[in-house]
């Protein structure tokens, strides 16, 4: 694989690992993050720091962004010191944040006007998938840009599919989050039930985790929750954002999604307890204490 000059904007829980894989693959890396401290390990490994998203983008053939919320994406791309103001003509701009499909379409239109190409490519797999370079990457945009970026996606993930035109990656990720939302309720309820029945919930996971009830969330988040480890692999506040986006999209389609609505209600209760910066597995604690 040929090497490239890459900008990576957003070096949080997942972005730090993703950018690190690109750096280890031999690419030149230009980074920006709101908090420079979170990029320090990358800087020590040879990445170059930039004070603004646009400053990093100006040096790059490919620009990757993974930030928190749609308003952060908006500022990162459309702000006065943003990506679109300074990106090189011909660059491929890839937003990997879970964000609004409509915003992804706006970015694609603006990128084309600036002589660039844009992809929306949100990911699934959490901190573990990011560290182990086996993320699921769901992509929307033009096939030509997708094929250019695919070798770089392959450095960060294993399951990489073009879902359709601009915004399609975001719609796919929202479908993913809808499925996860109900699944989080399911394993939390199952383990609380098992505990109250006098069983060892960890042993229960050993039995049911390999059968029809098994899921990535049960097998990865369940043991963490039982240990009282509620550190964020994926923040509650970000999951709530995703569920809001999914419910807004469903409403626009005139769809009723009661399972998603219930999950959102329960995570709102988790948020009200001050647990926004915990991992999504903290829902188990909420269930256990309610019981």
Q: How many CB atoms lie within 10 A of CB 251?
A: 11
Q: Answer for the pair 42, 29: CB distance below 8 angstroms, yes or no.
A: yes
Residues 48 and 179 in one domain: no
- Statement to judge: residues 188 and 59 lie in one domain: no
| 3-21 per-residue burial string, b: 16 or more CB within 10 A, e: under 16 | ebebbbbbbbbbbbbbbbb
| Other Cβ atoms closer than 10 A to 87 | 27
**Are 141 and 250 in a shared domain?**
no
Residues 212 and 263 in one domain: yes
Same domain, 19 and 138: yes
129 and 179 fall within a common domain: no
Q: What percentage of the chain exceeds 70 in pLDDT?
A: 100
Of the candidates 245, 238, 75, 256, which has an alpha carbon nearest to the alpha carbon of residue 170? 245
136 and 195 belong to one structural domain: no
| Whole-prediction pTM | 0.93
Query: Do 124 and 182 sit in the same domain of this protein?
Result: no
24 is catalytic: no
Angle, alpha carbons 203-208-210 (nearest 5°) = 110
Whichever domain contains 111, its CATH number is: 3.40.50.720
Same-domain check for residues 129 and 191: no
Query: Do 102 and 195 fall into the same domain?
Result: no
Of 130, 165, 200, at which residue does a domain stop?
165
pLDDT tens digits for range 187-223: 999 999 999 999 999 999 999 999 999 999 999 999 9
Same domain, 123 and 190: no
- The residue written with tokens 């679109």 in the block is 84
Q: Say which CATH number the domain at 222 has.
A: 1.10.1040.10
HEC states along 108-138?
HHHHHHCCCEEEECCEECHHHHHHCCCEEEE
Q: Which of 173, 237, 241, 264 is catalytic?
A: 173
Q: Is the pLDDT of residue 1 over 90?
A: no
Give the pLDDT confidence of 26-82 residue by residue, as tens digits: 999 999 999 999 999 999 999 999 999 999 999 999 999 999 999 999 999 999 999
Stretch 224-250: mean pLDDT, rounded? Answer: 96
Q: Per-residue pLDDT for 127 more than 90?
A: no
**What's the domain range around 255?**
171-290
> Do 149 and 176 lie in a common domain?
no
């Amino acid at each position: 694989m040929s090497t490239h000059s890459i900008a990576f904007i957003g070096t949080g829980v997942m972005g730090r690992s993703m950018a690190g894989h690109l750096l280890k693959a031999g690419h030149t890396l230009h980074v920006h993050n709101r908090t420079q401290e979170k990029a320090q390990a990358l800087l020590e490994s040879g990445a170059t720091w930039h004070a603004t998203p646009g400053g990093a983008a100006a040096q790059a053939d490919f620009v990757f962004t993974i930030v928190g919320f749609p308003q952060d994406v908006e500022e990162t791309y459309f702000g006065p010191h943003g990506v679109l103001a300074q990106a090189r003509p011909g660059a491929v701009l890839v937003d990997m944040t879970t964000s609004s499909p409509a915003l992804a379409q706006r970015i694609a239109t603006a990128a084309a006007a600036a002589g660039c190409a844009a992809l929306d490519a949100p990911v699934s797999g959490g901190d573990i998938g990011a560290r182990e370079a086996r993320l699921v990457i769901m992509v929307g945009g033009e096939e030509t840009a997708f094929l250019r970026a695919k070798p770089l996606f392959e450095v960060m993930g294993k399951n990489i599919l073009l879902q359709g035109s601009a915004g399609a990656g975001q719609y796919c990720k929202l479908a993913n989050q809808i499925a996860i939302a109900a699944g989080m309720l399911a394993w939390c309820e199952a383990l609380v039930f098992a505990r109250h029945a006098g069983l060892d919930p960890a042993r229960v996971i050993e039995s049911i985790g390999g059968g029809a009830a098994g899921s990535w969330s049960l097998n990865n988040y369940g043991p963490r929750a039982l240990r009282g480890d509620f550190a964020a692999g994926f923040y509650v506040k970000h999951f709530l954002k995703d569920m809001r986006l999914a419910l807004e999209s469903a409403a626009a389609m005139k769809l009723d999604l009661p399972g998603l609505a219930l999950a959102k209600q329960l995570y709102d209760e988790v948020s009200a307890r001050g647990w926004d910066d915990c991992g999504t597995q903290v829902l188990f604690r909420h269930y256990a204490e309610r019981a």
